[in-house]
């Protein structure tokens, strides 16, 4: 791992700080709160190896996004569990905090089921329990559009949580599902924050004050409210949420420094206990820039440049230099130390803040 990471060094540190970074990274719980499954069906071993090379302990794996229905979600979970069964020496299915501890001990990558939409449950609370029983632990209330639960960030009118949406929030609290508002519209997000009895998080959303993505990057008052619930903001590496021209929405080439700029801003606003990492990245996509037919880049970007920025619609924008692969996660540790973060605070951002939220919400 060290040799590979050494070739990908973005920062130049003195010998003492470099050693400090390696030791801290090796011992830290490192978590990515939003990972795309794109590429696992094409280059399975390569995808897995990137997490191992980067020392990543675990991540939320997105198994439901745009219009995933009940049957497709079941199929996705089946394929997901088969992937883990094929790779027992490197992967572990995680539904509890203790599972992460095992991953750290055995140097495996822990995978959590994350739905980025509630379309799989339709308007059935019993389906929510079914998916929880199958291992779902993180639930985004909407994707980009209206559902039975609430409004996504691309809807023209955001009426907030529906009556059913309020029931979903309450049932999620009861079951122990972490509520995610990354793609939710503003009113829907505020309703989730105001009605939830447990921490509400944005697993993969940026800072609107630094990159003006409407809906997907969150304004200061909403970020403060997330922190007040005890939740965490996962800073992304998805290019259109990291750096753009504020007037034209043109997506600009970013580096890991731009990602850490967002971390700095969020820490100063929300507090050190409420900021983490949520890349919203597929290593395959970052490597090839290949985007699927149903991606937001192809389907939504031209209609909503205020959300997804101005750029190509047939491929992804280049990911931030220095953190365009999970194999380069040591650069995040290096960069945080270089900015002056203490070892303890660096570990909080790398994953301990997510661990705290999981301990509180999952209760198992």
Residues facing 206 on adjacent strands: 217
Residues facing 93 on adjacent strands: 111
Handedness of CA 226, 60, 350, 360 (dihedral sign): positive
Mean pLDDT, consecutive 10-residue stretches, the chain (364 aa), reads 54 96 98 97 96 98 92 97 98 98 98 98 97 98 97 96 99 98 98 99 99 97 99 98 97 98 99 99 97 92 97 97 98 98 99 99 87
What are the φ and ψ backbone dihedral angles of 142, each rounded to 5 degrees? -145, 165
Coil, strand or helix: which one is 179? Answer: strand
pLDDT digits (tens, 9 = 90+) for 181-221: 999 999 999 999 999 999 999 999 999 999 999 999 999 99
Angle at 77 (CA atoms; ends 95, 217), nearest 5 degrees = 75
* Helix or strand holding residue 112 (H, E): strand 109-115
- With CA atoms as reference, report the closest residue to 242 among 219, 220, 266, 217: 217
Rounded to whole angstroms, the Cα distance separating 222 from 235 reads 15
Which pLDDT score is estimated for 6? 41
Rounded to whole angstroms, the Cα distance separating 186 from 80 reads 32
Query: What domains appear along the chain, each with residue ranges and CATH number?
Result: 2-362 (3.20.20.140)
Q: What count of other Cβ atoms lies within 10 Å of the Cβ of residue 326? A: 26
């Amino acid at each position: 791992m060290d040799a590979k990471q050494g070739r990908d060094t973005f920062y130049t540190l003195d010998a003492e700080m470099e050693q400090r970074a390696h030791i801290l990274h090796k011992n830290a719980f490192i978590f990515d709160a939003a990972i795309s499954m794109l590429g696992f069906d094409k280059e399975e071993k390569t995808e897995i190896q990137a997490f191992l090379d980067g020392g990543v302990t675990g991540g939320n794996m997105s198994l439901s996004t745009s219009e995933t229905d009940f049957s497709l979600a079941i199929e996705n979970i089946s394929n997901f569990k088969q992937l883990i069964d094929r790779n027992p020496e490197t992967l572990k299915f995680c539904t509890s905090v203790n599972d992460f501890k095992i991953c750290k001990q055995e140097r495996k990558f822990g995978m959590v089921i994350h739905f980025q939409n509630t379309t799989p449950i339709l308007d059935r609370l019993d389906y929510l329990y079914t998916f929880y029983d199958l291992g779902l632990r993180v639930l985004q209330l909407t994707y980009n559009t209206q559902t039975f639960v609430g409004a996504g960030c691309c809807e023209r009118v955001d009426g907030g949580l529906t009556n059913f949406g309020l029931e979903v929030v309450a049932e999620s609290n009861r079951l122990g599902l972490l509520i995610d508002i990354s793609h939710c519209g503003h009113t829907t997000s505020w309703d989730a924050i105001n009605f939830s009895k447990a921490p509400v998080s944005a697993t993969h959303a940026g800072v609107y004050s630094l990159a003006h993505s409407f809906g997907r990057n969150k304004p200061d008052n909403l970020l403060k409210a997330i922190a007040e619930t005890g939740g965490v903001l996962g800073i992304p590496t998805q290019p259109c949420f990291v750096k753009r021209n504020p007037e034209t929405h043109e997506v600009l080439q970013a580096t890991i420094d731009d990602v850490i700029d967002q971390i700095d801003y969020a820490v100063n606003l929300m507090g050190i206990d409420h900021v983490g990492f949520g890349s919203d990245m597929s290593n395959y996509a970052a490597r090839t820039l290949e985007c699927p037919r149903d991606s937001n880049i192809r389907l939504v970007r031209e209609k909503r440049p205020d959300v997804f920025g101005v750029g190509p619609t047939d491929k992804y924008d280049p990911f931030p230099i220095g953190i365009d692969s999970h194999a380069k996660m040591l650069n995040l540790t290096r960069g945080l130390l270089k900015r002056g973060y203490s070892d303890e605070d660096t570990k909080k951002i790398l994953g301990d803040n997510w661990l705290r939220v999981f301990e509180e919400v999952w209760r198992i």
